[in-house]
Structure 1
Amino acid sequence: MNKSLQLDPKNVESDIDAAVTAARASYVRANPKSLEAFERAAEYLPGGTTRSGLFNSPFPVFIARGQDAYIWDLDGKRYVDALSEFTAGLLGHSNPVVLGTIRQALDNGLSLGGQIEDEARFARLIVDRFPSIKKVRFTNSGTEANVSAIAAALHYTGRSKVMVFEGAYHGGSLNFPVNGPSPLNARLDLVQTPYNDVEAVRATIRRQGEKLGVVIVEPMLGAGGSIPADREFLAALREETARIGAVLIFDEIQTSRLAPNGMQGYWGITPDMTTLGKYLAGGLSIGAFGGREDIMAQFDPRKPASLVLSGTFNNNSLGMRVGAAVLSEVATEEAISQLSVRGNDLRRRLNGTLEGAGVAGQFTGFGSILAIHFVMGSLRNANDAVTSHPSLRELFYLHMLEEGIWIARRGMMALSLALSHDDLDKVESAVDSFADRWGDILPRR
């Protein structure tokens, strides 16, 4: 129970507002150097940032450095990094294989402007790991990978319509929150459908018929709340797209880290194309898309009328060399499998903590990705997730920071290979202290 506030059990909303106000004030007092840095940044960057998702009112914490599974802010506080750069920091901040490979690449020169052997080596490792990928192309980011994959699929089918799902995030120009698509989205002929709704999917695809060229889906909603897809939902997508000749794309930019061969391997459902990114190059910017031989053959410059897709940094020497080392030596299938076991165990423990405290809340997710929601019952899509009280998520975020645990403001966590058992115990302890401190204002079971 929180002793620093006078709580009124008859006015829970007022108590929540008071708790958040107190937590924000404590946050401001604890981070004076971050405030100074933010004010300097705001002179040159709109809102002081170039990544909207990192902004936190009244200002974000500024990070000074990272090592292994820890980061330090400008005010010298150390955090257990339980977010791992929104899934991209799978290996931690100082993996020796990554650092050694980067140093070697630096010694051999940057911006070489030609083919390098590690490009093909990296590609072979991707093809060997993900069942749907027979050929692959590299990009600079997951956003680029998704845009390129959709464009390739539309060209291949000769059709115009693209099916997406409510709450999906496929990058900065392909963002579909429940309150409406982002105005910055690429201009596509879209059909939007509820996530995890088999009947709606079948009805929509049959209604669109041969106008529908592409269906792109995350096997687990990322920004939409870390909500896994049901196997039946993915199987329906596979069946219906195959029936009408549409291309099914799995966006596994996050979910490829959840199982040894991605979620397509876990569920045994093979899409036509797959997009990748985030952790693949050990923390360097990377993206990739690949799929069936006939679709990817469109990019073969040896063929007449092949598609031209270039990018100065698509095969940059750092990304290619580090990526090959990551998949072959660090993020191996065994390592991914073990991390997923640890993540599932942590989610079970955290849900047990909330249940034991009588809090009406739950951690969703799969494997090494999880997120908190202050609602009960089955969460099947982003519309279910938005019923979680936003102020309680902020209170949880501020509490976890105070306890030295780095997470996303929306309550998301993503575990890295660098985290120890002791680190995960600290995460559990911080969740337990949150339930104890604020139990009077949290929703009850």
Structure 2
Amino acid sequence: MSAQTPTSEYLRNALAEAEADYVRANPESEAQFRKAEHSLPAGNTRSSLFYGPFPLTMARGEEASLWDLDGHKYLNFLSEFTSGIFGHSHPHIVAEMRAAIGDGLNLSSHTTGEANLAAAICDRFECFDKVRLTNSGTEANIMAMVTARVVTGRDKIVVFKGGYHGGPLTFVGGASVGNVPFDFLYGRYNDLEATLTTINPHAEDIAAIVIEPVLGAGGCIPGDRAFLTGLQQWCHTKGALLIVDEVQTARHHAGGLQPVLGLKADLTTMGKFIGGCMPIGVFGGRADIMMRFDPRHPNTLAHAGTFNNNVMTMRAGLAGLTQVYTPDEAERLTALGDDFRNRLNTIAEVCGAPVHVTGVGSIMNIHTQSGPITFAEQVAQENKELKDLLFFEFLAHGIYYAKRGLVALNVCHTQVDLDRFADTFKRILTKHAPLWRELEGQAA
């Protein structure tokens, strides 16, 4: 079924009814939104969290559940856009954060915490010889690009349409006007031939290729192994650096996706769960590159940041990485997610719905088109009204995920939770069987 299937009166009416039910059910969230509008543009300070007619305001969370201002309880399948892998307030992490507060915040110096966390990161992920810590994945990606430009003496950075490396490094739907002013070249994700055709004429000017093993914000589209290793080989041949953004995918398997895909980047960036749900970013890689940040050496690169080694993140991150999300737990959650995604796709196929779920492991995206989905431009053609309908119907059943379709598991999710999601998915798709028949007829 085409991703450009025309809409229908049935779909418009169903969506209008679902939105009206949502408004009636959430007066406190609407009131809070109106209040927030007075001091925040659209009542919002994180663009990804806004949706119309107004977003829910959550009041508290516990394990895998959320409660909004109107008292509704939801299973949280958004998991803070993948960074909330520990659920809400995991006891091991809370204990470390309390201990950090007790020992004093902002110690204005080196601490044991940064060394302990850095050692644990390097031990866990073979892509790192040495690392630097930042406050976000966005900062980590900017620093990795800056480093590549300095080390190579070149200016151009290759990125991919559909990619996302932070707020000012957004390429979903094309380059954002708010992006940092680097000299970018744009490849086509999962199309090695087209990408090389674009970049080969500029080979001597390219400092780095920056790639996600899975397009995250671009729709959880897995990278083809031959495509990714082909880019790696090109970098090695042409003297450019390969930067692999594993801010999201580091959670997959015991050591991220690079070992699974046959990759070992010159520089890697991470974030999200590495800080135990506290703000963090990590960039690092080859020792010879990272030694450029040693202030004892000539031509050193400066990298400062008041909260790079803040004591709460250092303690929470170490507990999360070594006590909670251990290598065994990472393998368990990855396998659980793969099975769950396959289960959802089977349900969609049996129901005859133009719905497909992409992803790897515990991160996935619901699309309103039939599969396979391998290119970013396919996502841009989806039926938005249908995607909105699914979102509001899931909310009415007490299940919360991103309106764009992102679903992320966390360690607190049980098989009962996954069964509830799958059963709700089947119930919604079965309810709208007349729509699938209508759209199928239009497509024919």
User: TM-score normalised to the size of structure 1?
Assistant: 0.96
**Paired residue for 1:107?**
102
Partner Cα distance (2:231, 2:322) in 1 = 32
CA offset digits 1:188-247 (Å, max 9, x no partner): 101001100011223233221111111101100011000010100110010001100101
Partner residue of 2:129? 134
Name the count of aligned residue pairs.
Answer: 435
Task: Indicate if the aligned counterparts of 1:20 and 1:394 stay in contact, CA closer than 8 A.
Answer: yes
Tell me the secondary structure at the aligned position of residue 262 of structure 1: coil
Unaligned runs of 5+ in 2: 1-5
Query: Any conservation in 1 of the 2:348–2:426 contact (CA below 8 Å)?
Result: yes
Q: Which amino acid aligns with 1:386?
A: A
Alignment of 1:283-432 (within 5 A): 283-432=277-426
1:281 paired residue number: 275
Aligned to 1:148: 143
- One-letter identity of the residue aligned with 1:137: R
Change (3 A) 1:69 1:416: same
**CA distance in 2 between partners of 1:72 and 1:323 (Å):** 26
What is the alpha-carbon distance in structure 1 between the residues aligned to residue 345 and residue 364 of structure 2? 11
User: Is the partner of 1:208 in helix, strand or coil?
Assistant: helix
> Which residue matches 1:98?
93
Letter in 2 for 1:375: Q
Q: For residue 167 of structure 1, give the secondary structure of its aligned residue in structure 2.
A: coil
| Correspondence 1:176 to 2:194 | no
Name the counterpart of 1:8: none
Q: Secondary structure at the match of 1:275?
A: strand
Secondary structure, in 3 states, of the residue corresponding to 1:196? coil
Letter in 1 for 2:433: G
Shift of the alpha carbon at 1:410? Answer: 0.4
The Cα shift of 1:294 comes to 1.2
CA–CA separation in structure 1 for the residues paired with 2:406 and 2:371: 19
* Residue of structure 1 in register with 2:10 after alignment: 15
Q: Secondary structure at the match of 2:334?
A: helix
CA distance in 2, matches of 1:254, 1:36: 34
Conserved 8 A contact 1:342-1:367 = yes
SS for the counterpart of 2:319 is: helix
Task: Establish whether residue 241 from structure 1 lines up as the match of residue 203 from structure 2.
Answer: no
Deviation at 1:12, TM superposition (A): 4.7
- CA distance in 2 between counterparts of 1:374 and 1:358 reads 12
Q: Does 1:32 align with 2:27?
A: yes
**Structure 1: runs of 5+ lacking an equivalent:** 1-10
Residues 341-374 of structure 1 show CA distances to partners (whole Å, capped at 9, x for unaligned) of 1101110111111111111221000100111112
TM-score by length of 2: 0.96
Q: Report the Cα distance in structure 1 between the residues aligned to 2:93 and 2:277, rounded to whole angstroms.
A: 9
Q: Structure 1, residues 261-317: CA drift from partner, whole Å, max 9, x if none?
A: 111021121111110111111211111100111111110111122111100000000
Q: Which moved more, 1:14-23 or 1:186-195?
A: 14-23
**Deviations 1:144-198 (Å, cap 9, x if unpaired)?**
00001100111000000000001001000000122x2111100010100110001
- Distance in 2 between residues matched to 1:153 and 1:12, nearest whole Å: 46
- Residue of structure 2 equivalent to 1:159: 154
CA drift of 1:76 comes to: 0.6
User: Quick check: 1:49 aligned with 2:44?
Assistant: yes
SS in structure 2 at match of 1:270: coil
Per the TM alignment, residue 14 of structure 1 is displaced from its structure 2 partner at its CA by 2.2
Percent identical across equivalent pairs? 42
Q: Counterpart of 1:18 in structure 2: which amino acid?
A: N
Q: Which of 227, 233, 243 is the aligned partner of 2:221?
A: 227
Q: Show CA shifts across 1:370-411 (max 9, x none).
A: 111122232112101222211111111111111111100001
Match of 1:205 among 184, 199, 213: 199
Give distance in 2, aligned partners of 1:183 and 1:159: 23
Distance 2:119 2:212 in 1: 24
TM-fit CA distance, 1:13: 2.1
CA contact (8 A) 1:138 1:314 kept: yes
Is the Cα contact below 8 Å between 1:175 and 1:182 reproduced in 2?
Answer: yes
